[in-house]
Structure 1
Amino acid sequence: MKLAFIALLLGTSAVAATLPSRTVLSGECCPGTVWTPDSKALLFLDGPPARASTGFYEVAATGGEVTRRFSSIAYFSPKLRWAVRPGSGEATVLERLADGKRFTLPTFGADVTWNDAEDGLAYTRSDTSGNYDRRATRVYVADAFGSPRNVATLYGGGVSGWVDDTTLLLSGKSAPGNRDRELFTLNTRSGAKKTLRTALGFRGISLSPDGARVLYTISFDSAARNGLWLQSTAGSTPTEINDYGAYRWRDAGRFLLMPLKTDGDAHVLRQYTVSLNGWNTLGDLGDQVRQGDWNVSPDGKLLNFLSAKDGNVWVLTLP
Structure 2
Amino acid sequence: MRRARSLAALALATLSLATLAPAATLPSQAVLGGTCCPGTVWAPDSRSLLFLDGPPARAATGIYEVPAGGGEVTRRFSSVAFFSPRLLWAVRPGGSEATTLERLSDGRRFTLPTYGGDVAWTRSETRLAYARSDTSGNFDRRTTRVYVANAFGAPRAVATLYGGAVSGWIGEDTLLLSGKLAPGNRDRDLFTLNVLTGARKTLRTALGFRAVALSPDGRRVVYTVAFDSAARNGLWLQDTAGGAARELNVYGSYRWRDAQRLLLIPLGDVTGASGPHVLRQYSVGGGAWTTLGDLGDQVRQSDWNVSPDGTRLNFLSAASGNVRVLRLP
Question: TM-score normalized by structure 2?
Answer: 0.93
Residue 232 (structure 1) aligned to one of 235, 239, 262: 239
Q: Aligned pair 1:295/2:302, yes or no?
A: no
Aligned-residue offset at 1:23: 0.6
Residue 141 (structure 1) aligned to one of 141, 148, 157: 148
Which range moves more in the overlay, 82-91 or 12-21? 12-21
The separation in 1 between residues aligned to 2:155 and 2:18, in whole angstroms, is 47
Partner amino acid, structure 1, of 2:206: A
* Pairing of 1:120-159 with structure 2 (within 5 A): 120-159=127-166
The separation in 2 between residues aligned to 1:110 and 1:10, in whole angstroms, is 40
Q: Aligned pair 1:283/2:290, yes or no?
A: no
Where do 5+ consecutive residues of structure 2 fail to align? 1-15
* C-alpha RMSD of matched pairs (Å): 1.2
How big is each residue's C-alpha offset from its partner over 1:187-211, in whole Å with a ceiling of 9 and x where there is no partner?
0000000000000011010000000
Aligned-residue offset at 1:10: 8.0
The separation in 1 between residues aligned to 2:285 and 2:299, in whole angstroms, is 28
Contact 1:12 / 1:280 at 8 angstroms: preserved in 2?
Answer: no
Aligned-residue offset at 1:144: 0.2
The separation in 1 between residues aligned to 2:20 and 2:171, in whole angstroms, is 36
Q: What is the aligned partner in structure 2 of residue 4 from structure 1? A: none
The separation in 2 between residues aligned to 1:129 and 1:271, in whole angstroms, is 41
Aligned-residue offset at 1:15: 6.0
The separation in 2 between residues aligned to 1:88 and 1:23, in whole angstroms, is 37
Question: TM-score normalized by structure 1?
Answer: 0.96
Q: Aligned pair 1:163/2:173, yes or no?
A: no
Contact 1:12 / 1:281 at 8 angstroms: preserved in 2?
Answer: no
Q: What is the aligned partner in structure 2 of residue 5 from structure 1? A: none
Aligned-residue offset at 1:141: 0.2
The separation in 2 between residues aligned to 1:152 and 1:13, in whole angstroms, is 47
Q: What is the aligned partner in structure 1 of residue 98 from structure 2? A: 91
Contact 1:151 / 1:188 at 8 angstroms: preserved in 2?
Answer: yes
Aligned-residue offset at 1:82: 0.0
Q: What is the aligned partner in structure 2 of residue 3 from structure 1? A: none
The separation in 1 between residues aligned to 2:240 and 2:125, in whole angstroms, is 21
Q: Aligned pair 1:17/2:24, yes or no?
A: yes
**Secondary structure at 1:204's aligned position in 2?**
strand
Residue 325 (structure 2) aligned to one of 302, 307, 315: 315
Partner amino acid, structure 1, of 2:228: D
Q: What is the aligned partner in structure 2 of residue 65 from structure 1? A: 72
Q: What is the aligned partner in structure 1 of residue 9 from structure 2? A: none
Q: Aligned pair 1:204/2:215, yes or no?
A: no
The separation in 1 between residues aligned to 2:316 and 2:192, in whole angstroms, is 34
Q: What is the aligned partner in structure 2 of residue 216 from structure 1? A: 223
Which range moves more in the overlay, 180-189 or 262-271? 262-271
Sequence identity, in percent? 72
Residue 246 (structure 1) aligned to one of 247, 253, 257: 253
The separation in 1 between residues aligned to 2:37 and 2:17, in whole angstroms, is 37
How big is each residue's C-alpha offset from its partner over 1:248-284, in whole Å with a ceiling of 9 and x where there is no partner?
0000000100001361211000000000000100000
Aligned-residue offset at 1:13: 3.1
Aligned-residue offset at 1:236: 1.2
Aligned-residue offset at 1:242: 1.1
**Secondary structure at 1:64's aligned position in 2?**
coil
Distance change >3 Å, CA 10–CA 25, structure 1 → 2: closer
Aligned residue pair count: 311
The separation in 1 between residues aligned to 2:253 and 2:261, in whole angstroms, is 14
